[in-house]
Amino acid sequence: MRLTRGIVCECSGASACPDGSNNGTCTTQVNGYCFATVEEVETDAGLVELERTAGCLPPDESGFMQCKSSQVPHRHPKVIECCNSSDLCNRRLQPRLPAYPADPLPPALSPAPAPGPQPALLVAAALCLALVAALAAALLLCRRRRRAGKRPPSPPAAHLAEISSGSGSGLPLLVQRTVAKQIQMVESIGKGRYGEVWLARWRGERVAVKVFFTTEEASWFRETEIYQTVLMRHENVLGFIAADIKGTGSWTQMLLITDYHERGSLHDYLQTAVLDPPALLAMAYSVVAGLAHLHMDIFGTKGKPAIAHRDIKSKNILVKRNGQCAIADFGLAVRFVAERDEVDIAPNTRVGTRRYMAPEVLAETLQVTDFEAFKMADMYSLGLVLWEMCRRCGAGGGAQHVESYALPYHDVVPADPSFDDMHAVVVVQRMRPPVPARWARHPALAALAALMAECWHHNPPVRLTALRVKKTLAKFHKDCDVKLV
């Protein structure tokens, strides 16, 4: 059923009620749903209790909480039911955990073969036994899950334990799980290849929650792992808050909670924003500073491994309120383990976004055993991002003479270019984005034009490093300060 307004829902339970919900109700967005869940929770005393939660769900919940999960058969820790038929319809929802199978009961005690009619007593006894068996099974399941450790194939919860043990960056695992339980989804703000990103609230603060598509567990795992890398935090890297994964079998919910940036991705921002030269320089500098931090390794026992991003593009860079950027989306990143002199996962060659792929990635000549090669490929993509920024920079004087926003190679390849399209342009013809004549007339644009050309050079070792670009921009900014402001 489609409604033209939101509906009012019962709202109860620890994590379901958004701020401002009153009298135990909340109102959904148009086409939203009411939901009710029942979940097994473990009390402090180690007992298993059932907890009911009710609240509002946004429309198109695409994998976030799966309204159909109650059809999953046995031994399910959580069941959800949804409705949108009328206001407060979820008051009538009574989701029940499916009964545990009766097989733990010895045949002699099973109610089935009871001869003759001794009804009430037998039924009561059987019910009691079933309850005891169910509780025992639940406890057993809980304990087994806790012990699951690193045994493959491990349930999703064990992954989180693996990731957080010993990594040292980010909140402790239990705190992360609590945070994940306390968030309230507000609205969907972006979609990428691996998931959908939501604006959410956590204790009155705005946060971003990436909800991974159920098929993308590996991507959630990788991104969480990277964010928990020691010394990963930097003002130009998206700030990680928490990760959580719950569910079993066909019901899995994987979340990644980070800082929220209302200006969205650089790609979206540049569509409408026009930058003045100081703003362009500050923005370019911040992206390069973020990338230099990722690429850098810091030696020592609590050192930081070098990280290559492998999917640098304007959609994976966020714009902060102060005009600086934060690099995001680490689903494809690789780390270099200096002690073992190796890349931490088996990297496949052709990953990333085709439009931004370096010539050696397109030609499949990138040496995957050489970590520097991944950094050089990042630098090529960064060159393209700098070009996207420069087009939106007006050189002052009032007249906003800028180029319209465009993706790199927008004029020579189709909207969703194939490998072959990109290969023909970037490798065979060795084309690069055009530099407008007006850029030469402005020091900041001219300087960046020179830098981007050295970033997207065909020959990877000739490209500048992130640290080099960062230093050059810092110096330029200092020298030109008087002219620029």
Active-site amino acid positions: 311
Which of the stretches 3-11, 44-52, 324-332, 350-358 binds Mg ion when contact is defined by CB under 5 A? 324-332
Q: Residue 237: which of ligand ADP, Mg ion, none does it interact with, CB under 5 to 8 A by kind?
A: none
Could you say which DSSP state residue 18 is in? P
Residue nearest to Mg ion (CB): 192
Report d(CA 194, CA 178) in Å as an integer.
Answer: 24
- CA distances to 7, 281, 333, 436 from 403, rounded to whole Å, are 45, 17, 32, 9
Q: DSSP per residue over 418-471, as a string? A: -HHHHIIIIIIS-------GGGGGSHHHHHHHHHHHHHS-SSGGGSPPHHHHHH
- Which listed range, 43-51, 69-77, 327-335, 438-446, lies at the site for Mg ion (CB under 5 A)? 327-335
Let me know: does 265 contact 319? Beta carbons within 8 Å.
yes
Q: Which is nearer to Mg ion, 277 or 290 (CB)?
A: 290
258 binds Mg ion (CB under 5 A): no
Burial of 387 (0-12, 13-18, 19+ CB in 10 A): buried
Distance CA 332, CA 128 (A): 52
Distance, C-alpha 196 to centroid of its chain:
8
260 versus 336: smaller Cβ distance to ligand ADP: 260
Instruction: Give the one entry of Mg ion, ligand ADP, none that residue 260 binds, where binding means its C-beta sits below a cut-off of 5 to 8 angstroms depending on kind.
Output: ligand ADP
Residue 104, contacted partner among Mg ion, ligand ADP, none, CB below 5-8 A by kind: none
Cβ-based nearer residue to Mg ion, 192 or 305: 192
Quickly tell me which residue has 């002052």 as its tokens.
396
Q: How far is the CB of 192 from Mg ion (least distance, A)?
A: 4
- Angle value at C-alpha 279, between 277 and 285, nearest 5 degrees: 100
| Pick 70 or 314: Cβ nearer Mg ion | 314
Provide, rounded to whole angstroms, the least separation between the CB of residue 153 and ligand ADP. Answer: 24
Name the binder of 258 from Mg ion, ligand ADP, none, CB < 5-8 A by kind. ligand ADP
- Closest CA relative to residue 94, chosen from 72, 112, 70: 70
Among candidate residues 244, 247, 277, 261, the one with its CA nearest the CA of residue 395: 277
Residue 265 interacts with which of ligand ADP, Mg ion, none, CB < 5 to 8 Å by class: ligand ADP
Minimum distance from residue 94 beta carbon to ligand ADP (Å): 36
Q: Does 21 bind Mg ion (CB under 5 A)?
A: no
329 lies in the site for Mg ion, by CB under 5 A: yes
Complex with ligand ADP: residue 40 or 259, whichever CB lies closer? 259
What gap in Å lies between CA 106 and CA 200, rounded to an integer?
Answer: 49
Nearer to Mg ion, 192 or 417 (CB): 192
Compute the least distance from the CB of residue 460 to ligand ADP, in Å. 25
State CA 369 to chain mean position distance: 27
Distance CA(39)–CA(77), nearest Å, equals 6
Whole-angstrom Cα distance, residue 333 to residue 347? 9
CA distance 472 to 288: 11
Based on the shown chain and the rule CB under 5 A, indicate whether residue 265 belongs to the binding site for Mg ion: no
Which chain residues interact with ligand ADP by CB under 6 A?
189-190, 192-195, 197, 208, 210, 238, 258-261, 264-265, 268, 315-316, 318, 328-329, 331
Q: How far is the CB of 328 from ligand ADP (least distance, A)?
A: 5
How far apart are CB 210 and ligand ADP at their closest, in Å?
5
In the bound state, the residue with its beta carbon closest to ligand ADP is 192
Site string for Mg ion, 303-322 (x = CB under 5 A): -------------x------
Helix and strand numbers, DSSP H then E, in the chain: 11, 15
**Do 220 and 256 meet the contact criterion of CB atoms below 8 Å apart?**
yes
Cβ 222 to Mg ion shortest distance, Å: 13
195 or 417: CB nearest ligand ADP: 195
Closest contact distance (angstroms) between CB of 65 and ligand ADP is: 19
For Mg ion, how many residues bind (rule: CB under 5 A)? Answer: 3
CB atoms within 10 A of CB 369: 10
Q: How far apart are CA 258 and CA 210, in angstroms?
A: 8
CB nearer to ligand ADP: give 238 or 413: 238
Instruction: Restricting to residues 179-198, name those near Mg ion by CB under 5 A.
Output: 192
Q: Which residues of the chain form contacts with Mg ion (CB under 5 A)?
A: 192, 316, 329
